[in-house]
Amino acid sequence: MHRELHDFYRAYIACLNAQAWHDLSRFVAGDVIHNGRRLGLAGYRDMLAEDFAMIPDLAFRPGPVVAEAPFIAARLDFDCTPRATFLGLAVDGRRVTFAENVFYEIRDGRIGQVWSVIDKAAIEAALRGR
């Protein structure tokens, strides 16, 4: 069971990194909720596509992944160069490293709800320090 959740998550991350948006419905429910907003599959896909547009070298790299039905929790480590503004910060093509700690609720084999927090304070500190 945990093994299945890990396999599922590995395939989901591969889908994101390949920007294989036609496959996203295999992983994400049609009525998915992200941080309390009912984005739905199309809105979720648009959010991800926009992330890649703003951050051309975006890559999802999981650190610890913790699975216990119905949840998956993952720490994602990012090392990338957002073009302009990111999370309201003027990154302007500088390289930033930061983490996202994210929880997923799996319903009927797909991601039904996401609770994500990005470490904005770490990005601010990095921009100040350089």
Which residues contact a second copy (rule: CB under 8 A)? Answer: 2, 63-64, 66-68, 71-73, 75, 87-88, 99-103, 105, 115-121, 124
Q: Which CB sits closer to a second copy, 19 or 116? A: 116
The nearest distance, CB 56 to a second copy, in angstroms, is 23
The nearest distance, CB 50 to a second copy, in angstroms, is 17
Q: Any idea what the Cα angle at residue 42 is, between residues 41 and 44, rounded to 5°?
A: 65
The nearest distance, CB 99 to a second copy, in angstroms, is 6
Q: Which CB sits closer to a second copy, 23 or 51? A: 51
Tokens of 102: 């994210």
Residues in the chain: 130
Tokens of 44: 């979720």
Q: Which CB sits closer to a second copy, 42 or 122? A: 122
Other C-beta atoms lying within 10 Å of the C-beta of residue 46? 13
Among 101, 41, 30, smallest CA distance to 71 is for 101
Q: Which CB sits closer to a second copy, 75 or 94? A: 75
Judge whether 24 and 41 are in contact, CB under 8 Å. yes
- CA–CA dist 49, 53 (Å, integer): 6
The nearest distance, CB 112 to a second copy, in angstroms, is 13
